[in-house]
Structure 1
């Protein structure tokens, strides 16, 4: 059932999107917001659930670090391509159809991953997850902003930027626990993911649409990268924040399984899931901490603390100290949440409904570029360099990005309503 809606735009991105139609009630708008958040969590929980299995694949099937890094890169490359080609499609077709299509692709990826017996199956399965995550990254995040409530004011930017990290953390921990303690260690987590995805589809089907269908869907698939002119001056620092933080996230996916086992002397899938979650989950909880600061100050503070966390991670790897590794990972994760949420808040400043999908496409294009390119380079270098040497390279990248952010962070252009 389709409900026609009239959308009254926000004056700024922090004011509420009001969906005024006599057939649409406030509870339905709240349902749409909750459904979009749950679906985005399901999306990235599915992506994160593969991480604790990487060590199983290495031990039982002989997969190499280089092979696993290829699977990580293929996922990111598929996401990038989807964002570039289909990132604006939900503006024309609607948020709900594109969101449901993304969940269907993720479901298919889980079906493939139920029987990983060769590196090619893992790569193809991760490819399908990347396609689904790419669609979700623009459609579901835009749906969240469309339906976000008025209060608290930071909820729109935090929910749209940090639900990804929360989902990855939930998927990794759940997967680690099931792999270590439950039957069917290579399949059960994917069956759980599939059930979660089906529930998400049902919730989206029960929720109202926020975008009217309009012509131009085919034209929107012509690759295009744009953000509103009023926030273009924010892109250089936003890029530094996203590239550096997401590159470390990809490092945790591709190399931490081997690092935890070889350097920190534990092979527990649950510990691996918790280590990965220690980087991702604090991001969602750290993000609101910067909500009372200007976007520029929040990015400076977030990146400064992020650099301290990465320095601690490097020290822990060199000294093989698990406790320091976990604490430093939590610091880096929480501080990246402050910086990423502030960068997202800046780009969404004053956004209208048609701005959101293209803006999120740009955000995630930059983010997945940060996840893809360094991971591809590091994967090739893993044949000649040790993991401690590789992580030092990520530390240098974090240092450069932090200096760039501290020197160049700026606020959105002022208007009569103020920045916030």
Structure 2
């Protein structure tokens, strides 16, 4: 029996040991699941919080768009390195110690952000934050799948699909408001995030351990991308939509506030945060609204709306129409949410507990390479050919990728009907 199929009040003891007496401070499985969801949102909110600040840093330290997107990409570099090295570690040591270590690293990155007075320190902070987030994400995804309540076996997929988009939007908008109206614009958000990490650490320390300890932890640290052979075909089918959706997200989180200021003349930092929120909040709401729908339908819907929304936003940029660009962003956000729901929901249900850490690691590497590499290329292009031309070329490329994803899903649906459903509560 898999861990996710166990009743809510039953967590397996480590193999070969006498079942330990439940500690008073240990959370019961439903509370532990809720705590993990909140911690997931917190990590993602922290990751997007610097987005509205990039323009502030750029004005204070006078660096180029290439440097701006390099700061953005260093975070993803750290994340991918952690996914490659640490992705399977929680399958060997347990979810709790990996998550506690990730929270400690996240707190260290917040401390560096607080004292940052140069691009160099900003790069260090983002690199450490990337490592922390990468270590946390696979352990969080696997732990949520382990703790799935028996009466709603796909709930972990819903949280894993919705939490990133909700957290990204919350962090960007919250930071934008603090920068615009609060004191110490480049400090306050990090103080608040650092304070939020304290109860997060306490909650993780009280989690029941759901992953059986097994040998091979040191061997698992060798950088690799590994997926069990019986899972590879299903993962490959998800690659086109992963690339299209996360490439769009990378554009909005790296250059979105700059586009709002440079192309539409909107200098408010709240607007910079809203640019990200217009994409991510519809994505989160869509993931909730479409739970229980067949996976094939949801993937096709996601690809189609990504294509349509990107084309509408591109039209808005070309016509200098803020309303059209905003409408396209919302439509693309709905497509992003449908894509995340179906892809991560599929990942959550198709792997055994011992395979989940590695599988989520590979999926997140694909997602965040798509998230970062195009954004860095866009930053270099902005420096040399301009923001408008780069935005148009980037949006056109994302639209092309979305069309490929839609075609791939159509071909797959013709080959074999899909019987799976998206996560539901």
TM-score, length-normalised on structure 1? 0.91
Q: Are the aligned partners of 2:231 and 2:351 in contact in 1 as well (CA < 8 Å)?
A: no
Match of residue 167 from structure 1:
167
- Deviation readout 1:346-383 (Å, 9 max, x if unpaired): 23333211111111101100011101211221122112
**Does structure 1 residue 298 correspond to structure 2 residue 293?**
no
Match of residue 383 from structure 1:
383
Match of residue 101 from structure 2:
101
Taking the TM superposition and a 5 Å limit, the aligned residue runs for 1:357-368 are: 357-368=357-368
Q: Are the aligned partners of 2:231 and 2:350 in contact in 1 as well (CA < 8 Å)?
A: no
Question: Aligned in 2, Cα 1:334/1:151: closer, same or farther, shift over 3 Å?
Answer: farther
TM-score, length-normalised on structure 2? 0.90
Match of residue 137 from structure 1:
137
Q: Unpaired segments of 5 or more residues in structure 2?
A: 14-18
- Deviation readout 1:312-340 (Å, 9 max, x if unpaired): 21122222322222222121112111112
Q: Are the aligned partners of 1:259 and 1:387 in contact in 2 as well (CA < 8 Å)?
A: yes
Tell me, in whole angstroms, the C-alpha distance in 2 between the residues paired with 1:231 and 1:214.
22
Q: Are the aligned partners of 1:43 and 1:197 in contact in 2 as well (CA < 8 Å)?
A: no
Match of residue 119 from structure 2:
119
Q: Are the aligned partners of 1:145 and 1:160 in contact in 2 as well (CA < 8 Å)?
A: no
Match of residue 177 from structure 1:
177
Q: CA deviation at 1:114?
A: 1.0
Question: Aligned in 2, Cα 1:66/1:350: closer, same or farther, shift over 3 Å?
Answer: closer
Tell me, in whole angstroms, the C-alpha distance in 2 between the residues paired with 1:188 and 1:145.
34
Q: Are the aligned partners of 2:11 and 2:208 in contact in 1 as well (CA < 8 Å)?
A: no
Tell me, in whole angstroms, the C-alpha distance in 2 between the residues paired with 1:196 and 1:229.
40
Tell me, in whole angstroms, the C-alpha distance in 1 between the residues paired with 2:22 and 2:313.
50
Match of residue 36 from structure 2:
36
Match of residue 9 from structure 1:
3
Match of residue 63 from structure 1:
63
Taking the TM superposition and a 5 Å limit, the aligned residue runs for 1:160-309 are: 160-309=160-309
Match of residue 19 from structure 1:
11
Q: CA deviation at 1:419?
A: 3.5
Tell me, in whole angstroms, the C-alpha distance in 1 between the residues paired with 2:107 and 2:96.
16
Q: CA deviation at 1:164?
A: 1.4
Runs of 4+ displaced beyond 4 Å: 15-18, 20-27, 151-154
Match of residue 354 from structure 2:
354
Q: CA deviation at 1:107?
A: 0.9
Tell me, in whole angstroms, the C-alpha distance in 2 between the residues paired with 1:256 and 1:79.
21
Which moved further from structure 2: 396-405 or 163-172? 396-405
- Deviation readout 1:188-233 (Å, 9 max, x if unpaired): 0000000111111011111211112221100111222233333322
Q: Are the aligned partners of 1:10 and 1:352 in contact in 2 as well (CA < 8 Å)?
A: no
Which moved further from structure 2: 285-294 or 116-125? 285-294
- Deviation readout 1:285-327 (Å, 9 max, x if unpaired): 1113443332222111111011111112112222232222222
Match of residue 16 from structure 2:
none
Q: Are the aligned partners of 2:317 and 2:325 in contact in 1 as well (CA < 8 Å)?
A: yes
Q: CA deviation at 1:154?
A: 4.2
